[in-house]
Chains A and B, each alone.
Chain A
Amino acid sequence: MSKPKVAFFDFTSCEGCQLSILNLETELLELLDIVDIVEFREAMSEKSDTFDIAVIEGSYSRDSDLGRLKEIRETAGVVVALGACAHIGGLNALRNSQQREDLLKKVYPDHPDWYETNEKALPISAAIKVDAVVPGCPVDVKEFVHVVKNLVLGKDPGLPTYPVCVECKLNENICVYELGKTCLGPVVRAGCNAVCTSNGGVCIGCRGLIPNPNLNSQKDIMQKYGLDIQRIIDSVNLFMTENAREVQ
């Protein structure tokens, strides 16, 4: 059986997730035992018209993206959304709560009309069917390997449906709320091994919400720990713009 062909594509993003994958080094070589990488702009000049697994980084933010996304979808057997931008719109979606025309004038005061952009930056699932996701900003490369491995195996790689708290407790961390900080961990999807909270940070939600998050209770807790409503909205807005309204 020939190895599945993998191609990488990027849309609106910083391309940091692909860079993280390049940093894999030894595991990347092992990965090449089970797949062929046929297109990867950051690493090689070759391109390919055929591929089995398309790995897409970046959000869908321009009209002209749609055709390219559909083309990739038609060619690929499996589409993987790589990173927060492709998965949930990412930081690009921060602008979704503002007017496009105002923003263009603010960012490009001299030539706002030079730039093509949609009203909203959206996850690629708004344009095409997505079969698997590697969430995060940036992605956890171990999770990327896990997803590719399972796709090659023919197994649904799935995603944890539980929140970051689970992994935080498994790591025996003292809750950041006890340390006087606030955190979105109780409503944000795990799978990152609580990397931020385990290293002195807080969860800012780059992996998106769990299914059925109790945002009401999350809001009450953040208020109890001293955040006013605007700061709660801001913290949810960072990666989950569409949900920020729900905590108002």
Chain B
Amino acid sequence: MMTAVLEKQATKDNIILGMKKAMSEYDIAALTKKEGKVLFDYIDDVNKIELEYTPTVLSPKKFFFPQEEVILEYTMEGKVQAKINYRKMVLFGVRPCDITGIQILDEAFAESNGDPNYLTKRENSVIIGIDCNSVCDENAFCYKVNSQYPDGGFDIMLHDLGNSYAMTIATDKGETFAEQYFDSGKVDSEAMEEFLRVKEHAFVKAGGPFEELENLPEIFAENEHHPIWESEAERCLSCGSCIMVCPTCYCFDVIDELALSMKIGDRLRRWDACMLRSFAEVAGGENFREEVKNRVKHRINRKFNFLMKKHGKSVCVGCGRCVRSCLADISPVTIVEALTKTSKQMRLAEKNNELYLPVKAFIRKIVQFTEKEKFFELELENGKSLNHQPGQFILLSIFGIGEAAISISSPPSFGNRFDIVVRAVGDVTNKLHTLEEGDFVFIRGPFGHGFDESIQRKMEGKHILFIAGGIGYVPLRSLINFTLKQKEDYGRISILYGCKSPEDRMYKDELDYISTIGGNVTLLETVDTADKSWLKNTGVITSLIPMVKFHPENTLAVVCGPPVMYKFVIKTLNDQGLSNENIYVSLERRMKCGVGKCGHCQLDDIYVCQEGPVFRFSDIEDKEEAL
């Protein structure tokens, strides 16, 4: 708690002398040297205090929340008592970043169920900080999260004015301590102003705060599927070092230690880390945060999103310890800046006045595929490439009638032509079917999250199992062609395709061609009913799945078809051992705007038009409306 702020001044010698006097009443912990390293530790001699700062491996939170502490003592006969170990202490020489860290821990341990072990230690401590007026090393980024100006978490802050320290006294506790131990006088306000000016200059020069510091919770929420999570996780060793050294991580494990006598024991708490694989594993073996990506995401979100919302400021204090300790060079700074950049681009696109403005495209070729389905090749009038990913869609307009969401069926290309296949089923599509080659339509897009690079990387070397039903072949066709073009990059490619009848098959010529490729490419087809001229399988699509031999741990399935198909296909895949992490689906929804606004496509908190239509099934399996 901040009371009235007092400013005083004392010589450095006087401060050290005061600390020596205080030793009769307090244990003193300070920055000191021990076995060749600089760390915060209890000292028995004030001459061992290091006044110049060198970054330490652990932060001083360990004095209030030790690596391991006993919280209960018990006997096997059933006697039990709570245990709180504390010392009356002064923590001397804490730097602003760590003070901000302590301030955050004070709030975290005090809220709702106040933690007696932490709070008792804090109540019995006096914190004397030493202010920084420069950045301690190239890994520190306190200035990016504004932790260099703590507004609490200390009793006294010392500002270096050369031979003396100016003191900011923030609490009654600090005032009493200063009165008792420091022989202080009036502050040299000119020198103090100079100190603050130098400080401000140093931190502004270092780069100043994150561009959108205040908006980080929102930015993190927007970027749940940002590719950086995947790329950082790839390097992450899950070694837990980042958490161990963090001044604001406070998760712990609880362990019973019985003495060898088997009669008495302790219950301990020990630092634990959400970056460790076992952290969210329950007794049954289920792990609620098994993927490294999700653990990296959780750790960083706790600092800049989940807990930032609660504490009203960044819970990362920018001390740089995790960056220094990460052998894989994973840094919160890189992640925050990448997400900020993406969000800015997203907002720029949203502000774009042309968000709803379609561009003209000419119909270059029409092929009647089936009774109800036609193929259209479109060419953008502006000469630009559509620049789409497999699995994305466009909104196709015919003025006077309206807009309709249509999948892109051609693979990514640099040219300005692309293909769609459209069933005449609504107003726009019925009208489209009456148009002829040379006529024009308007389009917007491409929209949505398709089979992006991170999914494509995951597919490499795997057995890819495409499962399409009816017109569901069309949204998958872009990806199918993309993989067939470089088929040697995949273990196997198996395409399973089911229709009502042979007449309902899409891209008939192409299917005939695929069936002749051979090598690692297999095409299996089935129809519900057919006459004798149909030589392939009859029966439902799921009957094809057992005909393909696949190793579940090395296989990715990609599924698209009518809504009724998914449940049965996914169940059959699961029965064959394929987990939902290895199943991708492309979902159909009603879409009006395509840009995450109109709300028609919403699946709980997800806009299918933005985060979908392609989903890893494990990401949405719990949503009731998903299938």
The interface-forming segment of B273-281, B355-363, B468-476, B612-620 is B273-281
- CB contacts (< 8 Å) of A220 on chain B: these are 235, 328
Answer yes or no: B262 CB below 8 A from chain A CBs.
yes
- CB contacts (< 8 Å) of A210 on chain B: these are 277
Q: Give complex CA distance A212, B262 in Å.
A: 35
Q: Give complex CA distance A168, B262 in Å.
A: 30
Answer yes or no: B626 CB below 8 A from chain A CBs.
no
* Interface pair A186/B273, CB less than 8 Å apart: no
Answer yes or no: A27 CB below 8 A from chain B CBs.
yes
* Interface pair A172/B58, CB less than 8 Å apart: yes
- CB contacts (< 8 Å) of A166 on chain B: these are 239-241, 244, 273, 276
- CB contacts (< 8 Å) of B57 on chain A: these are 169, 172-174
B460 CB, nearest partner CB in chain A, Å? 14
Answer yes or no: B250 CB below 8 A from chain A CBs.
no
* Interface pair B276/A145, CB less than 8 Å apart: no
- CB contacts (< 8 Å) of A27 on chain B: these are 260
Q: Give complex CA distance A27, B259 in Å.
A: 11
* Interface pair A186/B327, CB less than 8 Å apart: yes
B94 CB, nearest partner CB in chain A, Å? 16
Q: Give complex CA distance A75, B325 in Å.
A: 48
Given contacts A163-B240, A214-B237, contact A221 B276 (CB under 8 A): no
* 12 additional A-B residue pairs with CB within 8 Å, beyond A186-B237, A214-B292: A31-B260, A33-B262, A149-B258, A149-B262, A166-B244, A168-B241, A170-B68, A186-B327, A212-B238, A214-B238, A217-B234, A220-B328
Q: Give complex CA distance A192, B158 in Å.
A: 41
Taken residue by residue from 245 to 271, chain B's Cβ proximity to chain A (1 for < 8 Å, 0 otherwise) reads as: 100000000000010111000000001
- CB contacts (< 8 Å) of A173 on chain B: these are 37, 57
Answer yes or no: B554 CB below 8 A from chain A CBs.
no
Determine the residue in chain B with the shortest Cβ distance to A190.
Answer: B240
Instruction: Report how many residues on chain B are interfacial, defined by Cβ distance under 8 Å.
Output: 30
- CB contacts (< 8 Å) of B39 on chain A: these are 172
Answer yes or no: B166 CB below 8 A from chain A CBs.
no
Q: Give complex CA distance A152, B68 in Å.
A: 25
Given contacts A175-B327, A221-B327, contact A169 B235 (CB under 8 A): no
- CB contacts (< 8 Å) of A185 on chain B: these are 239
- CB contacts (< 8 Å) of A217 on chain B: these are 234-237, 328
B529 CB, nearest partner CB in chain A, Å? 48
B457 CB, nearest partner CB in chain A, Å? 13
Q: Give complex CA distance A211, B238 in Å.
A: 11
- CB contacts (< 8 Å) of B278 on chain A: these are 161-162
* Interface pair A177/B327, CB less than 8 Å apart: yes
Give 13 A-B contacts (CB < 8 Å), ordered by A residue: A30-B261, A33-B261, A153-B258, A161-B277, A163-B238, A172-B39, A172-B56, A174-B57, A211-B277, A214-B237, A214-B292, A217-B235, A221-B237
Answer yes or no: B67 CB below 8 A from chain A CBs.
yes
Q: Give complex CA distance A173, B244 in Å.
A: 12
Chain A: interface secondary structure?
Answer: helix
Chain B, 93-145, CB within 8 A of any chain A CB: none
Chain B: interface secondary structure?
Answer: loop
- CB contacts (< 8 Å) of A214 on chain B: these are 235-238, 292
A28 CB, nearest partner CB in chain B, Å? 10
Q: Give complex CA distance A116, B45 in Å.
A: 64
Give chain A's interface residue range (CB within 8 Å of chain B). 35 or more
**Lowest 10 A-B CB distances belong to which pairs?**
A169-B244, A165-B239, A186-B237, A186-B239, A166-B240, A162-B276, A161-B278, A30-B260, A221-B327, A172-B57
Given contacts A161-B276, A187-B237, A214-B237, contact A169 B258 (CB under 8 A): no
* Interface pair B260/A212, CB less than 8 Å apart: no
Q: Give complex CA distance A186, B237 in Å.
A: 7
A237 CB, nearest partner CB in chain B, Å? 20
Q: Give complex CA distance A34, B258 in Å.
A: 13
Taken residue by residue from 206 to 238, chain A's Cβ proximity to chain B (1 for < 8 Å, 0 otherwise) reads as: 000011111011101100000000000000000
A169 CB, nearest partner CB in chain B, Å? 4
Q: Give complex CA distance A175, B55 in Å.
A: 13
A190 CB, nearest partner CB in chain B, Å? 9
In the complex, which of the residues A34, A172, A173 has the most CB atoms of chain B within 10 Å of its own CB atom?
A172
Chain B, 259-309, CB within 8 A of any chain A CB: 260-262, 271, 273, 276-278, 292
- CB contacts (< 8 Å) of B56 on chain A: these are 172
Chain A, 166-206, CB within 8 A of any chain B CB: 166, 168-170, 172-175, 177, 185-187
B70 CB, nearest partner CB in chain A, Å? 16
* Interface pair A169/B58, CB less than 8 Å apart: yes
- CB contacts (< 8 Å) of B240 on chain A: these are 162-163, 165-166, 169
* Interface pair A152/B262, CB less than 8 Å apart: yes
Q: Give complex CA distance A168, B261 in Å.
A: 30
